[in-house]
Amino acid sequence: MGSSFRNPSFGSTSGALPLGVKWLLISNTAVFLVQFVLYHFAGVALNFLKLIPAQTVTGFVWQPVSYMFLHDVHGAMHLVWNMISLFFTGPMLELHWGTQRFLRYYLLCGVGAAFCVIVASFVVGAQGTATLGASGALFGILLAYGVLFPDVLFFGVIKAKWFVTIIGAINLIDGIASQNAGVSHVAHLGGMLVGYLLIRFGFEARGRSRTTADPIAWAQAQYKNWKLARARKKFEVYLKNNRTRH
C-alpha cells in the first residue's frame, strides 16, 4: 500500500507542525474570523486590503501582500480548502528549507501571483475586480512540492509530479474557457510560474536543508502522538469515574 508521505528527504520525526506552517494556519484563520465578524455584524468588507489593481497602482501598495490573508466571508470553504492544502504540502517544504526560507518562498509566490493578476487585469480591462486568498502562494507551494518530492504519493495513488501537472492543466483550461469570476486562475497559474522560476534560478540550491529523515517516520510519529493523547484522555476519565464511585 502506498504512503502519502513516501520520500527520502523530510525534516522532522517529532510529529509536530513546523513553526512557519503553524503561524500561517493561525494567522489566516484569525484574519478570516475578524473579516467574518466585521462583514456580517458591522457591514465592513475591508476592500482596501483586497487586491484591486486599480487601487494598487494608485498607492495601495500593501495589497499584493495583504490579499493573501483574506478569504471569502460568504462561507468557510475557501479558507478550509486553502488551509488543508497548506497543512498537507507545507510541512515537508518547511522542514526541507527551514522556516525563514519557506516563508520567504511563500510570500514571494503570493506577491508574484498578485503582479500577474495586476498585469492580466489591465490586459482584459478588469482593473476593478478584487482578488483575495492564499491560493497564489499555495499553488507555488504545490509546484515546489511536485518538483522537490516528485514521487511522493497523493492520496496513495498518484505521484506528486503528475498531480501538480494535472492541477496546473485544469487551471489553464478553466482560465481560458471559464466565465467564473469567483476563481482567479491567473493567480493560481501565476503562483506556480513564480515558484518554478524561483526554483529554476537557484532558490532550491541556496535553501537546501542539511537535515533529512524518513517522512514515513513523521507520519508514524503523528499517529503515535494521537494514540498517546487518546489513551491519556481515557485514563483520566477512568480515574475520574473511580474517584466518583469511591
Distance of CA 209 to the CA centre of its chain: 20
The secondary element (H helix, E strand) that includes residue 120 is: helix 99-124
Catalytic residue among 71, 78, 185, 188: 188
Catalytic residue among 71, 135, 184, 185: 135
135 is catalytic: yes
Q: How many helices (H) and strands (E) does the chain have?
A: 10, 2
Angle 205-151-206 from CA coordinates, rounded to 5°: 5
Taking Cα atoms as reference points, which of 82, 83, 89, 94 lies closest to residue 4? 89
Q: Measure the CA–CA gap between 158 and 241, rounded to whole angstroms.
A: 47
For residue 59, give the C-alpha cell: 498607492
Which residues have a Cβ under 8 Å from the Cβ of 157 and sit 6 or more positions away? 2
14 is catalytic: no
Active site residues: 135, 188
